[in-house]
């Protein structure tokens, strides 16, 4: 499995959404995230573009997804 993060998908508040997705590929990660967004009543990638970034899983690290600054 690979780890992908997204910090620019639609959300219910103006700060924006942030998600972590585990998937075999970036394409699968996008499909999984779209499904979860739709289940929550949020726009998916068809109406609100977002980006996925892969996080290396071969070393220890911390990734700040959202620090509240905008």
What's the mean pLDDT when you consider all of the chain?
92
Domain boundaries, the chain: 2-55
pTM, full prediction: 0.88
Hey, what are 47's tokens?
């109406």
- Please tell me the distance from the alpha carbon of residue 65 to that of residue 25, in angstroms, as a whole number: 20
Hey, what are 8's tokens?
């620019």
pLDDT tens column, 33-46: 999 999 999 998 88
- Please tell me the distance from the alpha carbon of residue 47 to that of residue 10, in angstroms, as a whole number: 10
Cβ count within 10 A of residue 61: 8
> Is the CB of residue 13 less than 8 Å from the CB of residue 43?
no
């Amino acid at each position: 499995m690979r780890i992908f993060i997204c910090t620019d998908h639609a959300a219910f508040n103006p700060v924006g959404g942030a998600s972590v997705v585990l998937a075999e590929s970036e394409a699968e990660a996008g499909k999984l995230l779209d499904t979860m967004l739709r289940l929550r009543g949020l726009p998916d990638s068809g109406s609100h573009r977002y980006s996925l970034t892969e996080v290396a899983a071969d070393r220890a690290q911390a990734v700040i997804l959202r620090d509240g600054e905008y």
